[in-house]
Structure 1
Amino acid sequence: MGTNFPQSHHLQNTPFSLPRKQFLTYILYALLPLALFHYLLFNPLAAPKPPLLAREAAPSQHGHAPVNALEEQLPPPPPGRGGEVLALGETQGGDVSASGSASPACDYSDGEWVPDGRPPLYDGTSCGTIKDGQNCMAHGRPDTGYLHWRWRPRRCHLPAFSPEAFLRWLRNRHLAFVGDSMARNQGESLLCLLASRSRPDLVYRDGEENKFRRWVFREYNATVSIFWSPLLVRVVEKAEQDGVRHNNVFLDSFDERWMSQLGAVDAAVLSVGHWFLIPGVYHDGGRVVGCHDCADLNLTETAFFGVFKEAVHRTLAEVARRHGADRKVVAVTTFSPAHFEGDWDKAGACSRRHPYREDEKELGYTENEMRKTVLEAVAAHAGDGPLRFAALDVTKLANLRPDGHPGPYMRSDPFAGGADARVQNDCVHWCMPGPIDTFNEILLQTVAG
């Protein structure tokens, strides 16, 4: 049945009726939240950005996944010690809480060596890449205590090395170790650690004493190379058999044997130091600017610290100039101290069988200056771009391990000629397995952090 009431009167007498002006005001208030939600949802400038870990990994110009692990979906985390789990997405090695938030960066240099009863991942016979001079087990070193220590940082957790986790990170990537024999020592350590899970194939070898080598883990399409470059910059090496006892070091010229190859490398570990202590003549700008340990040459004596600093800073600056737009990690290993306490050619040169406590062995002036140079250089060249510089700070932990060197066991059966026989000792490089494996525990957290 129809009604004779005006429309306005009809509205006012329903349960939800309002005066027209008040009704319109309420409608506007109701629409404002909807408009704001629409703006946040569809405006790309206002919408919150997705987490870096959820971004799709874009291939590099070489067909590899980007090297910065924070720019891709990371592999499953490796198991830690005692059932703990480390998330590889942590920032620069910081521990990740149960909520997934990263804590401040871990200072792996501050810690202590503690007993560890677990066996190493490899031995002197299970890995074919150990340089003969570092194969202490195969050469008959009688004690094994040096194998059973682990580095424990004071303020954070360093997980045991996970070959599976490193190989997952290394999939479709190329990692290069560049530098002197310490770089080779660390590179071979990593190869042996990884070989405990996947066999590498040697695909390239060149140079005296295999100074340039390359391996491929075919299961992962992963590549590891070792480049010999004992001062990073160009050097004409000494040849004492020809009467040349000085290295000629060219500070204004780079070692293109590795620098020119860096474009095809996703991550590089640079490690130099000990060769700067060797007598050298230094060239810059086409002239001799000084020398170290060169009294016989009538040249100005120059402290090697300044030359080391110049070489490291100039090298990192050149890497940044050539590759600043690339997604690469360039890690620089700090100086690894020697532990000679006697003559290099007599028994007992480095005969200790236990680590030092921190209060027993402070860093010497040389070790401290070399370490500081690397830390300062990395900090000076670290930027916000895709190229990431990182310091692999191992000087303090290495300083506390006088027991980890080959000593006389750089040769098989060194005392066959009697206890008083002249025996060469190595108190610089590290037995494998041994303390240098810890360098690569930290490297895993550095490249994947």
Structure 2
Amino acid sequence: MFELMRRRTLLSFFHCTLSLLDPEGDVGILVQADVVSMVQSNSGSRKSCDISVGKWVYDDSYPLYDTNCPYLSSAVTCQKNGRPDSDYEKWKWKPSSCTMPRFDALRFLGRMRRKRIMLVGDSIMRNQWESLVCLVQGVIPTGRKRVTYNGPAMAFHAMDFETSIEFFWAPLLVELKKGSENKRILHLDLIEENARYWRGVDILVFDSAHWWTHSDKTSSWDYYMERNNLIRNMNPMVAYQKGLSTWARWVDQNLDPRRTQVIFRSMSPRHNRENGWKCYDQKQPLPVLSHLHVPEPMVVLQGVLKRMSFPVYLQDITTMTALRRDGHPSVYRKVISQDERQKSGKGLSTDCSHWCLPGVPDIWNEMLSALL
């Protein structure tokens, strides 16, 4: 059964070139695949269309909700925080060889009836969870929706659909614990403390990359531990591979593909070169990428997923999102004065990792809805 499901699942990995080609006359920015390496084959509808290859097209009918959505964190409500432009909200993704449907909240909730969908990962996955909740909440009457909290998890409930859209905080997937002398220890081979929350969920969407790439000064741990070995230094991508392999073993051994669908969303690109000001005052997507390469975490993730027996779909948003340096909060993480804005980077911190909402994560969720 596992092998049959494996053969039916698509895991795509791309080496892309970007250009301003516009074969259909639409104003847009094109991502064209030169090489598509099919790691797993597929006999379903995804066979003829890779929705991660396409272009950004300006669409004045977007966004699909506004910043009055009550479930948005203040750090991502860039309009409320004083951002003067709004075009970053109006770009939609158009795949090259098919159509990605516009997000339809009622249709999505209908398909998710009596199901639990859980997004697992870091603060950028929280970004995506807020987007998904805002995309659906507008069609639900007041009093028929609520949010509950359970330790590291939070859940939005659409009561009439018996549907929950949940977020679980696990930026490393594996366990991070305090040891002796208050030292922080990242256990590369332990995961059950987090994974016990994932049991019984119908659709699991994972991400994990950003925390693994933090430098020594910003690292969230002091030591690695594998079995009983305490390790001070390790190549971060070797550690990432070990942690992801622990996650993969748990999925293979504990989940049933007839009961649970698993998606792994690829790394969301940062635009924080030049001391964090690469995304400051950017008002449009990049037309091209001057240097295009596959990030190391993507290579590691591909290798781990390829070895799994459980069918996992890789939702590749990395290249398409790399063009969207215009979509970050930058200095608009909070309400700031005009004088502060005019500092143009001198002493004012920026956020070129997370995303303004409405914005780019809405498109990830349109893609997610299409995949489901």
Tell me the TM-score normalized by structure 1. Answer: 0.66
Deviation of 1:230 (Å)? 0.9
Deviation of 1:103 (Å)? 6.7
Deviation of 1:249 (Å)? 1.1
Q: Which amino acid aligns with 2:186?
A: V
Match of 2:146 among 188, 197, 202: 202
Q: Any conservation in 1 of the 2:340–2:348 contact (CA below 8 Å)?
A: no
Deviation of 1:255 (Å)? 4.8
Matched, 1:376 2:308: no
Residues 325 and 156 from structure 1, CA distance in 2 versus in 1: closer, same or farther, beyond 3 angstroms?
closer
Which structure has more relative contact order (CA 8 Å, sep 6+)? It is 2
Match of 1:229 among 167, 170, 188: 170
Deviation of 1:308 (Å)? 1.3
SS, match of residue 303 in structure 2:
helix
Matched, 1:112 2:28: no
Q: Distance in 2 between matches of 1:439 and 1:222?
A: 20
Q: Distance in 1 between matches of 2:54 and 2:244?
A: 27
More helix by proportion, 1 or 2?
A: 1
Partner of 1:260: 196
Residues 182 and 102 from structure 1, CA distance in 2 versus in 1: closer, same or farther, beyond 3 angstroms?
closer
Q: Over residues 307-352 of structure 1, what are the superposed CA-to-partner deviations in whole Å (9 max), with x where a residue is unaligned?
A: 11221222022122012365111111101110013324xx665332
Q: Over residues 390-416 of structure 1, what are the superposed CA-to-partner deviations in whole Å (9 max), with x where a residue is unaligned?
A: 111100111110000000000013545
Q: Over residues 48-72 of structure 1, what are the superposed CA-to-partner deviations in whole Å (9 max), with x where a residue is unaligned?
A: xxxxxxxxxxxxxxxxxxxxxxxxx
Partner of 1:390: 313
Q: Any conservation in 2 of the 1:374–1:391 contact (CA below 8 Å)?
A: no
Q: Distance in 1 between matches of 2:118 and 2:341?
A: 42
- Identity fraction in percent: 27
Task: Give the CA RMSD over aligned residues.
Answer: 2.6
Residues 389 and 414 from structure 1, CA distance in 2 versus in 1: closer, same or farther, beyond 3 angstroms?
farther
Partner of 1:304: 236
Residues 140 and 270 from structure 1, CA distance in 2 versus in 1: closer, same or farther, beyond 3 angstroms?
same
SS, match of residue 343 in structure 1:
coil
Partner of 1:165: 107
Q: Any conservation in 2 of the 1:266–1:328 contact (CA below 8 Å)?
A: yes
Matched, 1:338 2:270: yes
Q: Unmatched 5+ residue regions in structure 1?
A: 1-100, 292-301
Q: Any conservation in 2 of the 1:415–1:423 contact (CA below 8 Å)?
A: no
Matched, 1:217 2:142: no
SS, match of residue 408 in structure 1:
coil
Q: Distance in 1 between matches of 2:46 and 2:270?
A: 34
Q: Any conservation in 2 of the 1:182–1:272 contact (CA below 8 Å)?
A: no
Q: Distance in 2 between matches of 1:378 and 1:414?
A: 47
Q: Distance in 1 between matches of 2:358 and 2:333?
A: 13
1:242-321 alignment, distance < 5 Å: 247-257=184-194, 259-278=195-214, 279=219, 280=221, 281-291=223-233, 302-321=234-253
Residues 405 and 335 from structure 1, CA distance in 2 versus in 1: closer, same or farther, beyond 3 angstroms?
same
Tell me the TM-score normalized by structure 2. Answer: 0.79
Larger-Rg structure: 1
Match of 1:363 among 286, 289, 292: 292
Deviation of 1:272 (Å)? 1.3
Partner of 1:328: 260
SS, match of residue 335 in structure 2:
coil
Q: Unmatched 5+ residue regions in structure 2?
A: 1-43
SS, match of residue 301 in structure 2:
helix
Deviation of 1:105 (Å)? 4.3
Between the two proteins, the alignment pairs up a number of residues equal to 320
